[in-house]
Structure 1
Amino acid sequence: MSGNIVTEQLTRAGQAIEHDSFAIVDREAGAHRYTGAQWQIVRRMIHATADFEFNGLTRFHPQAVQAGLEAIAAGAPIVADVEMICVGLSRPRLAHFGVQTHQFISDDDVIATARAENSTRAVQAMRKAQRVGLLDGGIVAVGNAPTALLEVVRLVEEAGVRPAIILGMPVGFVSAAESKAALAAIADVPWIVTDGRKGGSTLAVAALHALLALAEARAAERA
């Protein structure tokens, strides 16, 4: 593994552009209420969207960063609501920690069950993830479907499912804000949420990349 910890940029020119971009984010964001590690996540989300409202819209469970870093170091699986999140993640970084990504929203059995039960594919995909044993101890990342997040919250509350951390960042107008509020009300499972309607798979990817970078940095410090 190379020493390329903070950035995925492989050339000096690319690294300089990314460095300058983060410096602009830091300067224009101004004051914030986040810890140093939390800010690494929030500023990468801002960097990915050019939306400074995430400085404030992003909230963290007190144990979120620690739980995320421990889960990555342990090679916990990432369960996403859509394929876009899986595709957007750095393969070398995932491989470094032995982390595998999973999404089931387009599986034939998920589609068939959603039709039979008049539910959504996102709901059935999360139920499948639970059946195959990926949610307990896993990293759940929801960036698109509020119904996926609502189902994960239900599984936590009613079935005792315990993911290592849940990233709740669905975007939209129907149940998006409500699903994130429901997640933020959970005390015994760590989470990161973006309040309100704003969200998206790009944000989930950015937050996961920040956690992967922080996990790499921590591992390098301990080496």
Structure 2
Amino acid sequence: MTPVQNTVTEQLTAAGRAIEHDSFAIIDAEVGPHAYSDEQWPLVRRMIHANADFEFNGLTRFHPHAMQAGLRAVLKGGTPIVADVEMICVGLSKPRLAHFGLSTQHYISDADVIRAAQAENSTRAVQAMRKAQRLGQLDGAIVGIGNAPTALIELVRLIREEGVRPALVIAMPVGFVAAAESKDLMMGVDEVPWVAIQGRKGGSTLVVAAIHALLSLAEAAQKAGV
């Protein structure tokens, strides 16, 4: 019996689909051994595909409930995706998001966020996370952080001190100042599921790849009637 193929979360042309599938096949052939589960590997593979970097085999870490929590958040529909920067929102496929009724939010360029950061001598990323919390956007959300370590540090504080409970945190800020440390903080959180990259590597492209992987897995679950 031929398996049902994804349609919404695939490339729009046959040529595009062939290139992507061939890329995944090359990654599978060249990656070597890994310790990821069958549900985790498609996310890691798509991140490798996004950056052509096999080091994400090993650097990518998962909370034990991350994949199940992420799929539930996508499949229930209406889940907000809160990003630290606009780049994540722009990179996500609008038709794929619309299929699941998902919306994206970012606040880092809002005038009130900038004013608060200047007044408190903090970063816009910190104030953007605080604004998202005030607006009730973080509880039950998928939070993607690919650029700003200070956003992730503030999110961990909100989780521990104010009881914020995102559905899933995709913790992948890139950089040299506090990037690795912020992800170490997140990986020490038990209360909220997370996917994180150990060390300095990361970036908004990888957050987008991780979310697109979740969307693809969610479509497959829909078609399987899960």
Question: Is the 8 Å Cα contact of residues 74 and 218 (structure 2) preserved in structure 1?
Answer: yes
Letter in 1 for 2:137: L
Separation of aligned partners in 2, 1:137 and 1:50 = 32
Is 1:50 matched up with 2:84? no
Separation of aligned partners in 2, 1:17 and 1:94 = 22
Determine the structure 2 residue equivalent to 1:208: 211
Relative to 1, partners in 2 of residues 1:109 and 1:6: Cα closer, same or farther, differing over 3 Å?
A: closer
| Structure 1 runs (4+) greater than 4 angstroms displaced | none
Separation of aligned partners in 1, 2:202 and 2:181 = 13
How far off is 1:14 after superposition? Answer: 1.3
Determine the structure 1 residue equivalent to 2:16: 14
How far off is 1:153 after superposition? Answer: 0.2
Determine the structure 2 residue equivalent to 1:81: 84
Question: Is the 8 Å Cα contact of residues 5 and 217 (structure 1) preserved in structure 2?
Answer: no
Q: Among residues 165, 174, 191, which one is paired with 2:168 in the alignment? A: 165
How far off is 1:188 after superposition? Answer: 1.3
Question: Percent of aligned positions with the same letter in both sequences?
Answer: 67
Determine the structure 1 residue equivalent to 2:42: 40
Q: Among residues 111, 117, 123, which one is paired with 2:126 in the alignment? A: 123
Determine the structure 1 residue equivalent to 2:147: 144
Separation of aligned partners in 1, 2:6 and 2:174 = 35
Letter in 1 for 2:194: W
Letter in 2 for 1:14: G
Determine the structure 2 residue equivalent to 1:30: 32
Determine the structure 2 residue equivalent to 1:217: 220
Q: TM-score, normalised by structure 2?
A: 0.96
Q: Which runs of 5+ in 1 are unaligned?
A: none
Question: Is the 8 Å Cα contact of residues 86 and 102 (structure 1) preserved in structure 2?
Answer: yes
Separation of aligned partners in 2, 1:181 and 1:5 = 35
Question: Is the 8 Å Cα contact of residues 81 and 143 (structure 1) preserved in structure 2?
Answer: yes
Separation of aligned partners in 1, 2:22 and 2:197 = 25
Letter in 2 for 1:85: I
How far off is 1:15 after superposition? Answer: 1.1
How many matched pairs?
221
How far off is 1:12 after superposition? Answer: 1.5
Question: Is the 8 Å Cα contact of residues 143 and 199 (structure 1) preserved in structure 2?
Answer: yes
User: Any idea what SS the aligned residue of 2:40 has?
Assistant: helix
Question: Is the 8 Å Cα contact of residues 180 and 199 (structure 2) preserved in structure 1?
Answer: yes
How far off is 1:6 after superposition? Answer: 5.2
Q: TM-score, normalised by structure 1?
A: 0.97
Separation of aligned partners in 2, 1:166 and 1:12 = 33
Q: Which runs of 5+ in 2 are unaligned?
A: none
Letter in 2 for 1:168: A
Question: Is the 8 Å Cα contact of residues 6 and 217 (structure 1) preserved in structure 2?
Answer: no
Separation of aligned partners in 2, 1:141 and 1:196 = 17
Per-residue CA deviation, residues 104-126 of structure 1 (Å, 9 max, x unaligned), is 00000000000000000000000
Separation of aligned partners in 1, 2:119 and 2:163 = 26
Q: Among residues 61, 66, 69, which one is paired with 2:68 in the alignment? A: 66
